[in-house]
Amino acid sequence: MTGSGLRRPESVSILGCRVDRVDSQGAAACIDELIERGSSAQVVTLGAEMANLAYSDRTYRDIINAADLVVPDTVGIVFAARLMGTPLPERVAGVDLLERVCASASRSQYPVFLLGGAPGVADAAANALTQRHPGLRIAGAEHGYFDDAHAAEVCERIRASGARLLFAGLGFPRQERFIYDNRAPLAPCVCIGVGGSFDVIAGRLPRAPAAIRGAGLEWLYRLAREPRRLRRQLALPVFAMRALRQSLSARVGAAQPQVK
Ligand code: UDP
């Protein structure tokens, strides 16, 4: 059980980060359950770059491991889990999860708040979502370029909006820290970190075509569209090496005779 009363799914460990063994449908069902319970909860959409940061940043790792649900946002996480002999059902991309949860929220009428992106992006994403999911109640939408000193005021606006679901697209690690630090003032609210999803939903950034996503090359597509990502994507080979090392040491450990 998590602190919010959710029966925690089975999980695997990638570089010390817990990742829950759920598919997209299962993840959305967990989120629905959390909202229905009136829980205050944190959902992490874990990418390889995040796991790599968490490897050397204990505080960030603890935040991820304390979340109520951690889903594998990128192909790197799914690949690493397979390498370790603990496969995950599928990639649960944050942007797809957001759409799925909004479809459900439009039926249940839980109000949704969008926080993040450059000025105007969250509003444009909210418009696009209400067109795709008629009946979706948008409690509010705000950009994500506020000073940390103003976080309390931002939280107060979210709380006063009556939102039961918060999508925080502030980029990592800011979004995970923001949600973790503000769980109490935001309560009761299920908060999901969604990275740059608003940019995609608002049409500011194109999503990689399905064939490229299917081939596991979305990272390369994004790099070609946004060359400034090169610096942070240098973390990917480091992540791959660390995952390989974790898988080798797990195999060596498993091969050791069991001393009774
Ligand atoms: N962002 C924000 N506030 C900040 C820093 C970033 O709202 O202080 C937004 C940024 O505009 C973008 C998102 O956070 O919409 C991060 O996108 P990125 O592509 O880095 O995330 P990813 O999807 O790769 O995790």
**Structural domains present in the chain:** 11-206 (3.40.50)
Tens of pLDDT, residue by residue over 228-257, are: 999 899 999 999 999 999 999 887 877 666
Tens of pLDDT, residue by residue over 159-193, are: 999 999 999 999 999 999 999 999 999 999 999 99
Q: Which residue's alpha carbon is nearest to atom 20 within ligand 1?
A: 171
Nearest to 52, CA basis, from 246, 202, 227, 192: 246
- Rounded (10°) CA dihedral 97, 62, 33, 210: 10
Quick check: 7 pLDDT over 80?
no
The alpha carbon dihedral of 98, 103, 109, 114 has a sign of positive
- Ligand 1 pocket residue status of 174, Cβ below 6 Å: yes
Q: Are 43 and 190 in contact (CB under 8 A)?
A: yes
pLDDT of residue 250: 82
- Ligand 1 pocket residue status of 195, Cβ below 6 Å: yes
Exposure of 102 by Cβ count < 10 A (0-12 exposed, 13-18 middle, 19+ buried)?
Answer: buried
Q: What is the pTM of this model?
A: 0.95
CB count within 10 Å of CB 49 equals: 23
- Separation of first and last alpha carbons in the chain: 31
115 CA: nearest ligand 1 atom: 7
